[in-house]
């Protein structure tokens, strides 16, 4: 049995199964981090503080980008 914490994804395939409405979120976040957009946004908006509810600025940007991605796909 493989340890899922150390398992690596070797390929993606198409499926008809629907796991959740946010099934592609992990891959989208990895893509955003790979192209460096999150770092650029954090640098540009460095003066913004964490919200009172505890949402980090990084997570806020990821949520907004994912919202746009989901609306336009």
pLDDT digits (tens, 9 = 90+) for 11-43: 888 878 766 666 677 788 888 888 999 889 888
Q: What DSSP string runs through 10-52?
A: ------S----TTTTHHHHHHHHHHHTHHHHHHHHTTTPPPPT
Residue 50 to residue 59: CA distance in whole angstroms: 10
pTM passes above 0.95: no
pLDDT for 13: 84
Residue with tokens 């609306």: 71
pLDDT for 11: 85
Domains of the chain: which residue ranges?
Answer: 25-71
- Is residue 66 over pLDDT 70? yes
pLDDT for 40: 92
């Amino acid at each position: 049995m493989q340890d899922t914490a150390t398992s690596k994804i070797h390929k993606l395939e198409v499926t008809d199964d629907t796991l959740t409405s946010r099934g592609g979120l992990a891959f989208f976040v990895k893509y955003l981090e790979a192209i460096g957009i999150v770092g650029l946004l954090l640098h540009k908006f460095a003066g913004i503080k964490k919200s009172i509810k505890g949402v980090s600025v990084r997570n806020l940007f990821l949520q907004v980008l994912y919202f746009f991605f989901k609306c336009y796909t």
